[in-house]
């Protein structure tokens, strides 16, 4: 399998976030978000599968927007992340004969550059009144990649501090 051998784990962390009300979403913005958030995730997985060892792990990074309302102007982002959650279920069936698991981690508001200007607003929308630290999300990803999660596949796991909006 080449110079570096096979892959054990693939984490697909592709995402583009834009907000616009449904009647104001430019076609170019819709196409771009679908291209990055859905097509990009699919193509990344498709490219990785031949290089994954049997029993390997595929983990996508989705969003709690898949199951939470969020805010007006979020419909395209929600739709793309919902597509990822659905895609994981189907791909899990495709690769199950090789013992490969496919799961989706759905973080809520997390301390990243995307939220830098909205930390207080985002924190107010959680039951815990704070946003996630990146290492908390990474801890969940590490668990999903572990042997202990070997019986979990096709699942979406949400970690969002009890997001209530």
Q: Which of 77, 118, 143, 163 is catalytic?
A: 77
Kindly provide the b/e burial profile for residues 91-117, where b requires at least 16 CB atoms within 10 angstroms of the residue's own CB: bbeebeeeebbbbbbbbbbbbeeebee
Closest by CA to 36, choosing from 74, 91, 75, 84, is 84
Element housing 53 (H / E): strand 52-61
* CA 104 and chain centroid, separation: 5
Contact 94, 58 (CB under 8 A): no
Catalytic: 118?
no
What is the set of active-site residues?
Answer: 77
């Amino acid at each position: 399998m080449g110079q570096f051998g096979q892959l054990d784990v693939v984490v697909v962390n592709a995402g583009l976030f834009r907000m616009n009300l449904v009647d104001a979403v430019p076609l170019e913005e819709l196409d771009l978000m679908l291209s990055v958030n859905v097509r990009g995730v699919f193509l990344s997985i498709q490219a990785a599968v031949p290089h994954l060892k049997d029993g390997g792990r595929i983990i996508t990074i989705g969003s709690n927007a898949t199951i939470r309302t969020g805010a007006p102007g979020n419909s395209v982002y929600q739709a793309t992340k919902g597509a990822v959650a659905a895609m994981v279920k189907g791909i899990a069936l495709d690769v199950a004969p090789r013992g490969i698991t496919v799961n989706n981690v759905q973080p809520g508001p997390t301390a990243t550059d995307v939220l830098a200007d909205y930390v207080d607003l985002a924190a107010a929308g959680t039951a815990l009144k704070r946003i996630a630290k990146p290492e908390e999300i990474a801890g969940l990803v590490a668990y999903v990649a572990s042997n202990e999660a070997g019986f979990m596949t096709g699942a979406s796991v949400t970690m969002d501090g009890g997001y209530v909006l």
